[in-house]
Amino acid sequence: MLEEYVSEMMQCTSCSFCTVTCPVMNVLLTDASSPRGRVQIAYGLYTGELEPDKSVAKRLYECTTCGMCDSTCPSGVHIVDVIKAARKVVYPQLAVEKQKNFAGNISEKGHTYGEEKEPIWAFTGFAPKEKAEVAYFMGCKVSAETGHAQGIAAVNLLKYLEENFTTLDEVCCGAPLVNVGAPEEKIRAQMEKNLGEIRKRGVKKVLFSCPSCYYMFAKVYPNHTDVSDIEFQHIVEYLDEKGLKPEDFEAGTEPITYHDPCHLGRVFGVYDAPRNLIKSIPNADYKEMEHNRESSLCCGAGGSLALYEPSLTKKMADRRIAEAGERTIVSACPNCIGNFSKHTKAISIEELLWDMLRR
């Protein structure tokens, strides 16, 4: 598992540039829980100098995969990929029950949550069409973390724009499986179900509300199969291209700020689209947080950290919430919104736009 990352690991010069920008390291204040430390642990597992044990699993799972390290690393090491590969080594013996249950639910029931539920699309009230060129992939986190609200708003916005689109009889994209280090075949099974569903309906473009789903389709699936016949896009990019006009909205908002989701920002570079949409609302009471765009801090819920160490997730969220102050946090990721909502007022950008639309 780690063989293919030997060069990556040796490329690390241990300069420690990644340690000062890592939001986890900045909470835990130990080099063992820094990106460099995790690469070194992966290296120890590879060389056999380090045996997988609880302490190894702890340090590998104490990471939100936010990618701040990747964007900081002057040596060009793909640190998050190394960490995810190392998690595969510890997963069979050392994953905690919550992680295993989560992964089990995905494989057995198609989504991340234990209870038998209706299909994900059902929460939007908009059944899949037989054929459509554009599809909306809601994602199980949208359902679970925003009480379906983000997905309902997204569907409503697409209807408002009179788009010819369909929902999908989807299953979990598999991101949580990658996060915990579950076996490849489980991830491929999710991928095959989703791609089969998309192609069956003649879909050429898939829109996402969840940056992690977007990441899986656009960055992980292509490692396994050819998906060049399908275009993937986050819905904020799509809505921005469509150009919602100020006259479409009611004027004024409560005090708001925008939190850049890690994958949407650092992986896809989508920083302007959500801000353009917010600014299309006349007199929006908007202010940036101290850390924004490329330097945005992780909410603490990424990388399935909350399954492993919820108290760390909370500490990271607290730091971000302190930056937001009294402002409502708007974001384009169900995981971030769900995490913030436990402690402060947070809303998806789809809900904000739908609420503010004159209709």
Partner 1 sequence: MIPFDMLKELKDFLGERVSTAPADTYVFGFDASIHHHKADAIVFPKSAKEVQKIVRLCNKYRVPITPRGSGSALAGQAVPIRGGVVMSFKRMNEIKAVRIEDLQVIVEPGVINDQLNAELNKYGFFFPPSPGSGNVATIGGMVAMNASGMRALKYGATRDYVMALEVVLPTGEIAHFGTHTIKDASSYQMAKLIAGSEGTLGIITEITLRISPLPKDTSIVLAAFEDTKMASQTISDIIAYPLIPASVEFMDRVCLQSVINARGVDFPLVDAVVMIELEGTADDIKNDLKKVEKIAGKNGAVDIRVSSDLRKKTEWLEARKAVLPSMSQYAKGKMFMVSLADDMSLPISKIPDAVYGFHKIEKKHEHVVLGVYGHAGDGNLHTIFLIDPRNPEAWKDAEKMVGEMYDLVIDLGGTVSGEHGIGITKAPFMWKEKKDSMEVMKRIKRALDPNDIMNPGKNVEWDDGILVDLRYPVNLGGDE
Return the number of other C-beta atoms located less than 10 Å from residue 227's C-beta: 17
* Separation CA 347–CA 150 (nearest Å): 8
Site for partner 1 in 208-237 (CB under 8 A): none
- Residue 41 in contact with partner 1, rule: CB under 8 A: yes
Residue whose CB is less far from partner 1, 45 or 152: 45
Min separation Cβ 56 and partner 1, Å: 5
Min separation Cβ 94 and partner 1, Å: 11
- Residue 15 in contact with partner 1, rule: CB under 8 A: yes
Determine the interface stretch with partner 1 among 16-24, 262-270, 296-304, 323-331 (rule: CB under 8 A): 16-24
Nearest-5° Cα angle at 312, 95 to 12: 70
- Which position among 1, 2, 27, 32 is part of the footprint of partner 1 (CB under 8 A)? 32
Min separation Cβ 78 and partner 1, Å: 11
**DSSP class of residue 165?**
E
φ, ψ at 285 (rounded to 5°):
-85, 85
> Given the structure tokens 């949580």, which residue do they identify?
176
* Separation CA 176–CA 181 (nearest Å): 8
- Residue 322 in contact with partner 1, rule: CB under 8 A: no
* Separation CA 226–CA 240 (nearest Å): 28
Size of the site for partner 1 (CB under 8 A): 35
Min separation Cβ 181 and partner 1, Å: 16
Residue 262 contacts residue 298 (beta carbons within 8 Å): yes
- Residue 11 in contact with partner 1, rule: CB under 8 A: yes
- Which position among 22, 40, 139, 333 is part of the footprint of partner 1 (CB under 8 A)? 40
Residue 291 DSSP SS3: coil
In the chain, the amino acid numbered 275 is R
Site for partner 1 in 57-76 (CB under 8 A): 58-59, 73-76
* Separation CA 10–CA 212 (nearest Å): 28
Min separation Cβ 48 and partner 1, Å: 9
Residue whose CB is less far from partner 1, 39 or 235: 39
- Which position among 1, 2, 50, 144 is part of the footprint of partner 1 (CB under 8 A)? 50
Pairing of the two strands 328-331 and 256-259:
parallel
- Residue 30 in contact with partner 1, rule: CB under 8 A: yes
Nearest-5° Cα angle at 349, 347 to 355: 80
φ, ψ at 210 (rounded to 5°):
-105, 120
Q: Residue 7 is inside which H or E element, if any?
A: helix 6-11
Min separation Cβ 23 and partner 1, Å: 15
Min separation Cβ 54 and partner 1, Å: 8
Q: Please choose, from the candidates 337, 330, 246, the residue with its C-alpha nearest in 3D space to the C-alpha of residue 286.
A: 330
Residue 232 contacts residue 134 (beta carbons within 8 Å): no
- Residue 47 in contact with partner 1, rule: CB under 8 A: yes
* Separation CA 7–CA 46 (nearest Å): 12
Residue whose CB is less far from partner 1, 50 or 134: 50
Determine the interface stretch with partner 1 among 5-13, 184-192, 280-288, 310-318 (rule: CB under 8 A): 5-13
* Separation CA 359–CA 306 (nearest Å): 38
Determine the interface stretch with partner 1 among 51-59, 211-219, 303-311, 336-344 (rule: CB under 8 A): 51-59
In the chain, the amino acid numbered 197 is E
Residue whose CB is less far from partner 1, 55 or 93: 55
Residue whose CB is less far from partner 1, 94 or 353: 94
Residue whose CB is less far from partner 1, 54 or 159: 54
Contacting residues toward partner 1, per CB under 8 A: 7, 10-17, 19-20, 29-32, 37, 40-41, 44, 46-47, 49-51, 53-56, 58-59, 73-77
